[in-house]
Amino acid sequence: MQHITMDIQGEILDFELARCLGDCLARRENEETTLICWCDELRNIHSPQSLHCEIKGEPGWEVYGRNHGGRLRISFNRETIVLIYS
């Protein structure tokens, strides 16, 4: 899985902004990309939400992404928001 880390300064980072930037980056390599999982520490939520376990220190939503075709992981502002795309 490819990893991209971004730090946003001068603009308030929220999920909508992160998703817009993430979608743009993900589509550069694959027009058919899909956001398959994400975590928003600002709102203390993640998706899929039904996964409450950790596997070897990794949160369940991230394991889900890796095991369901995740090819691109984009983290914003020191893991405040993380998006995984197929």
Beta bridge partners of 74: 4, 83
43-80 pLDDT tens trace: 999 999 765 566 677 788 898 998 899 999 999 999 99
Count other C-beta atoms under 10 Å from residue 38's C-beta: 22
Question: What are the chain's domains?
Answer: 2-85 (3.30.1490.340)
pLDDT of residue 55: 65
Q: In whole numbers, what is the pLDDT of the chain averaged over residues?
A: 91
Work out the average pLDDT over 36-48: 94
- HSE-CB at 60 with a 13 A cutoff on CA atoms is 10
pTM listed for this prediction: 0.89
